[in-house]
Amino acid sequence: MNLLTTPQELKTSQIFKGLIYGQPGVGKSTLALSAPNPVCIDFDKGMKRVEPQFQTPSLQVETYQEVLDLLNSDEIESFETIVIDTLGKLIDRIGDYVAAENPKFRQGNGTMTMQGWGAIKGHFLNLLKLLESKNKSIIFVAHESEEKSDDKTIKRPDCSGSARKDIVKELDFMGYMEMAGNKRTISFSPSDKFYAKNSLGLNEYIEIPNTAKGNVFISEKIVRLTVQRLQEQSDLRVQYDELKQLINSNISELKTVEEVNNYYQEMGKKDPIWDSVFYEKKLLADRIKELDIEFNKESKEFESIKEVKASEEHDPEVKKEEMLYQEIKKSIEDCGSVEELEGLLEGDDTKRDVNWLRQLQNDSYILLMECVEDMKNLLDPEDNIVEGVC
């Protein structure tokens, strides 16, 4: 049995975890209830403020034990989404719960001790695990609070203790709701004004439509569109892998210069997927190295390196260059003094031949000059150059 999961085997999830927070009275609870088939754990007891046609079954929370009892019962099995309204009140009820278990967790003024906050954190993390085990989407609702840093003020979900940081790590999205004129909006990308999170690739800023045609924003604009996009990406991944396999197969079969040139001419005609163009170029580059083939920038075609060398060997100009280089090199090496070397280089024939090699701008001239330098240093180490050669 394979323990690893391939990208093709990953399943598109239709279960999401999100948090909505923002200004008072912007409709956070109603928006949360637009998730698919929701049940509400109503810590804030705000269901009565939701328009009657959008109200859903809810637990009007008195104690945290009631929440645990509900989540461990069969009553929520038929629902697809659990709405927690609000996150801040949830932490308060967990605080009451741990203080009832151990009164030492709460000080005389009502605030929690450090040990008390540690107990709250433990219960909260256990609750997140319990919620996740229900295999349902989860939407948290929170009020906003302000966090000041230097001269800046930033909006964040109102929540005591470390719960906000603990929960944000688990979320797929976190949206900040506010009014823009007379329109409700929600933003999913973090800014210097508010916290947000967008792991689903949602639009950064969305205007929330009115509910005249129903309360379906999260169901339609988040869940349905995200599932559709993830499925499209999954399908595209399959196409990507198939394209890479085709590229691998085609390039591995290339054996001749003609086949390489024909393939190169057809390369740009395939529809690219992600980095497939760069993948194909890299694979082709590796293949032509194996075949000892190079690209000629002038002819814009590939050619065999061996054939190019063989052609150069039969080229009269190349032969003349090589023979001339060897002759001058031998003459330089035969010089026994600086005077002989300078006399050789001052000769009309040698001057003409060296200038001709220089005009070719090739390796022979460079090698010849290196030979002159080496011989000059050997005969007279204190001198650095032979006058008239360069």
Residue 67 token pair: 């929440």
User: Which structure tokens are listed for 190?
Assistant: 């973090």
Q: Is the pLDDT of residue 388 over 70?
A: no
The model's pTM is 0.71
What's the CA gap between 360 and 338, in Å, rounded? 27
Would the pLDDT of 384 be above 60? no
Mean pLDDT over 354-369 rounds to 73
pLDDT (mean) for 101-124: 91
Please report the domains of the chain, with CATH numbers, ordered by start residue.
15-215 (3.40.50.300), 229-308 (no CATH), 315-379 (no CATH)
Average pLDDT, the chain: 87
Out of 71-80, 165-174, 315-324, which region has the weakest mean confidence (pLDDT)? 315-324
pLDDT value, residue 165: 85
pLDDT tens across 299-314, in order?
888 988 876 565 555 5
Q: What is the pLDDT of residue 309?
A: 61
Burial environment of residue 198 by CB neighbours within 10 A (0 to 12, 13 to 18, 19 or more): middle
User: How many CB atoms within 10 Å of residue 390?
Assistant: 10
pLDDT tens digits for 29-59?
999 999 999 999 999 999 999 999 999 999 9
Tell me, what's the pLDDT at 327?
83
pLDDT at 64 over 60: yes
> Which distant-in-sequence residues (6+ apart) come within 8 Å of 302 by Cβ?
257, 260, 261, 264, 288, 293, 294, 295, 296
